[in-house]
Structure 1
Amino acid sequence: MTPSHRDAASSSGRTDPVPAAPVHLGLIFAPDLAGRYQEHLLADLPALLESRFPGVQWTLSTALEDRDDPAEDALGLLEATRDRMLDEGWDIAVGITDDVLRQGRHTYAKQVSAVHAAGVISVPALGVTTTRARVAEAVVSAVGVVLGVDPDGGGSPEAVAERARQLATDVEDRQEENVTSYTARVLGGNVRLLLGMVRTNRPWLLAVRLSKSLTVALASGVLTLVTTDLWLLSSEYSPLQMTLLGLVSMGAVTGALIVGAGLWEQARRDGEREQVTLFNAATVLTVLIGVIVLHLLLFIASLGGALLLVDADVFTEVTGEVADLGEYLKLAWLVGGLATLGGALGAGLENDDVVRAAAYTRSD
């Protein structure tokens, strides 16, 4: 259907030092829900959005959900919503569906991806007696996740407005420009937006969500900790070699997760180039930070295991080095690096949808 448009700009008469950030929000309705909620949301959302996100000027459009290619799960619905957003040229999209949002054994009322600037709301999951006001609140909440609003408070309205402005502003696409130069301009012009995407993803929780990777990594660490050959290597390795080992191990796990789960995207048309560039950058940073957290946790666990299991006299006899704290730290770093590499093997065992959901979605 042809999108219906409604300008949500406010005319309060106030003169702001900085122009309001214009954001185009698209709402995609399941056919059975359009008659119940479409007109109500078009009437009530502009004022509600303006009150929650001052400094942002809203334009609303609506469309019907495409039922010809139904999604199988919550992540599929989210990605379909994002694809429709790109097709329509919106800045943010929220799908309002009558399907149950299922991901594995879990069901959700809402699933949002800040890096995709898209979200999906399941009306049945909001409650048996779902009111129109409750649906409107759910839409505003999903938009808040995209704009990096902390549900527990914090974050200035100016920062939210600046992120909205970066989301809505396109970087000039110069056809003759190489990929490196274009990427640098996109990232340089969208720093706040990019950092907000990464923070919203909560990358420090990535390792916890990927249970198989963490299990394999911990098992690798335990098995290697009592290997005397490893003691000899740790005592001989220089700080530079230890640093390189850590970088290689973290890079291997990051690459395994991104490539294995198909997290890297290619723009299908010129109009998607900037958004896909930001998505890939946010994905890489999210996964990398998550892997760094994993590595540090494994290092701490390895240090505790070394102090508990590695006898100082035996270590000295095997390596010829005094088993002081420095030697234990080197051993723990080496074991943690190898355990992180073991995590790359565990990443290959994860379901692709599990990795994608862990990397860039928030669910309620």
Structure 2
Amino acid sequence: MTERRAGEGPAQRQVVAGLVAAPGLPLELAEDLADRLPGVMAARAPRVRWAFVVRPEPLVGTADIDVDLVRPARERLLAEGWELAICLTDLPVRVGRRPVTAFASRALGVGVVSVPAFGAVDLAERVLQAVLYLLDELAPDAASGPRQSPPPGPRRRSWRRRLLDSAVGSRDAPEQDSVRFVAAASVGNIRLLLGMVRANRPWRLMIGLSRVLVAAAGTAAFGLSSASLWWIGDAMSWPRLLAMDLVAALIICVTLIVGHRLWERPQVPAARERVTLVNLATALTVALGVLPLLAALLVVTTLCARAVLLQPVLGQQLGHPPRIGDYIGIASLVSALAVLGGALGAALETDVTVREAAYGYRAADGRAGHERRSGADGP
């Protein structure tokens, strides 16, 4: 990793800060921050030259072991001689039922940003705002250098700044040398859940499950050649066909979650709420990976049915001239059966393949999705 520096002109002081990030989305955000922060800090404190160094740290994203998020960043800080360090993790952190977006220890010179707490949209801007708040707490003199006087009269914050501040949450100082930013319980937990799903990157799930795709495609090809399925698809009502598609998607989701042990169980009663949140994120991740598979199969099967099933042949079997709705009905039934066939392929996938598709690099650490067991409810 290379250092990014900014700030032209004479500098009275140089501050070197480290961005310690978990592999995956937090590391991508850290790289973006390293590009943007020097310019932002140069505008805020022109007499201070900032240098930001990005370092990947798998330990702050490993969910299966007892880990203190502050310790790896502190060790990096001491080893590399930084003035302060900020850790970006994809693990959720909460105080009671309220998500913690960021916290800092002034005594240790370390701040932590919980990326999932900022939701799934406008993530880069929200994380940037949180890091700026942490820099103000960890190095108030260097982060808030001489500024121009504000113009006279009342100043109103823009709607974008209000949204960013709302995402970061309210400031709380539980101890003299520490500070944390806590989001509202209702909106914050919804945002945290969506952020956890975003960090899992569910769009990779369909691509990663090759055996599921092969099994589903083979079942769909067989189904289109069966005259019995033509009759059944033509006779079934649209609500029943839709229900079959949804049930098929539910079965393959359950197969993936249960068959590959993605569903977590709380080890202690106090962890019940945390594990429930993780399981909800897992269920949403798998559903968002499976539903596009069903939709894609439905579209492809409809096109294939329209191309392969000639109208005279199909009309002779159905007893009436086929309409476009008949083709869609047959394709819907075939797609539901194909997804059920794909459940067999899901069962044949290895645990590592499924976890890698659903959780990325954390598959190598075992059962993904756990929050850290030490201090997971708050700094």
**TM-score bracket for this pair, using the shorter chain length:** 0.5 to 0.7
> How do 1:47-62 and structure 2 match up within 5 A?
none
Instruction: Tell me the residue number matched to 1:10.
Output: none
For each residue in 1:259-315, what CA deviation from the matched residue of structure 2 results, as whole angstroms up to 9, or x when unmatched?
Answer: 011011011123422221111000001101111111001101101110111111111
Instruction: Give the TM-score taking structure 1 as reference length.
Output: 0.56
**Are the structure 2 counterparts of residues 330 and 84 from structure 1 closer, same or farther at C-alpha, using a change threshold of 3 Å?**
same
**Are the structure 2 counterparts of residues 268 and 141 from structure 1 closer, same or farther at C-alpha, using a change threshold of 3 Å?**
closer
For each residue in 1:21-74, what CA deviation from the matched residue of structure 2 results, as whole angstroms up to 9, or x when unmatched?
Answer: xxxx9999xxxxxxxxxxxxxxxxxx98xx69x9xxxxxxxxxx9xxxxxxxx9
Instruction: Tell me the residue number matched to 2:30.
Output: none
Give 3-state SS (helix, strand or coil) of 1:190's partner: helix
Instruction: Tell me the residue number matched to 2:235.
Output: 236
Q: 1:146 offset after TM fit, Å?
A: 7.5
Instruction: Give the TM-score taking structure 2 as reference length.
Output: 0.54
Contact 1:221 1:339 in 2 (8 A): yes
> How do 1:241-280 and structure 2 match up within 5 A?
241-280=240-279
Q: 1:201 offset after TM fit, Å?
A: 2.1
Give the counterpart letter for 1:209 in structure 2: G
Instruction: Tell me the residue number matched to 2:367.
Output: none
Q: 1:165 offset after TM fit, Å?
A: 5.5
Instruction: Tell me the residue number matched to 2:328.
Output: 329
Give 3-state SS (helix, strand or coil) of 1:286's partner: helix
Contact 2:92 2:116 in 1 (8 A): no
Residue 359 (structure 1) aligned with residue 341 (structure 2): no
Give the counterpart letter for 2:293 in structure 1: L
Stretch moving more, 188-197 or 261-270: 188-197
CA distance in 2, matches of 1:294, 1:308: 21
Give the counterpart letter for 2:337 in structure 1: L
Instruction: Tell me the residue number matched to 1:37.
Output: none
CA distance in 2, matches of 1:288, 1:141: 30
Contact 2:126 2:164 in 1 (8 A): yes
CA distance in 1, matches of 2:213, 2:223: 16
> How do 1:161-176 and structure 2 match up within 5 A?
none
Give the counterpart letter for 1:279 in structure 2: V
Measured on the aligned residues, the alpha-carbon RMSD in Å equals 4.4
Give the counterpart letter for 1:224 in structure 2: G
CA distance in 1, matches of 2:71, 2:227: 56
Number of aligned residues? 244
**Are the structure 2 counterparts of residues 345 and 189 from structure 1 closer, same or farther at C-alpha, using a change threshold of 3 Å?**
same
CA distance in 2, matches of 1:327, 1:276: 45
Contact 1:162 1:192 in 2 (8 A): no
For each residue in 1:84-142, what CA deviation from the matched residue of structure 2 results, as whole angstroms up to 9, or x when unmatched?
Answer: 13xx5x69988999xxxxxxxxxxxxxx984677xxxxxxxxxxxxxxxxxxxxx9999
Q: Structure 1 stretches of 5 or more lacking a match?
A: 1-24, 29-46, 55-64, 66-73, 98-111, 118-138, 169-184
Instruction: Tell me the residue number matched to 1:83.
Output: 65
**Are the structure 2 counterparts of residues 163 and 275 from structure 1 closer, same or farther at C-alpha, using a change threshold of 3 Å?**
farther
Contact 1:303 1:332 in 2 (8 A): yes
**Are the structure 2 counterparts of residues 312 and 227 from structure 1 closer, same or farther at C-alpha, using a change threshold of 3 Å?**
same
Q: Which runs of 4+ in 1 moved over 3 A?
A: 25-28, 77-82, 90-97, 112-117, 139-166, 185-189
**Are the structure 2 counterparts of residues 308 and 27 from structure 1 closer, same or farther at C-alpha, using a change threshold of 3 Å?**
closer
Contact 1:115 1:282 in 2 (8 A): no
Contact 1:114 1:201 in 2 (8 A): no
> How do 1:196-207 and structure 2 match up within 5 A?
196-207=195-206
Q: 1:164 offset after TM fit, Å?
A: 6.2
CA distance in 1, matches of 2:195, 2:125: 13
**Are the structure 2 counterparts of residues 27 and 219 from structure 1 closer, same or farther at C-alpha, using a change threshold of 3 Å?**
closer
CA distance in 1, matches of 2:60, 2:260: 16
CA distance in 2, matches of 1:220, 1:329: 17
Which one has the largest radius of gyration?
Answer: 2
> How do 1:1-364 and structure 2 match up within 5 A?
81-85=63-67, 114=90, 144=115, 153=124, 157=129, 190-361=189-360
Q: 1:321 offset after TM fit, Å?
A: 2.9
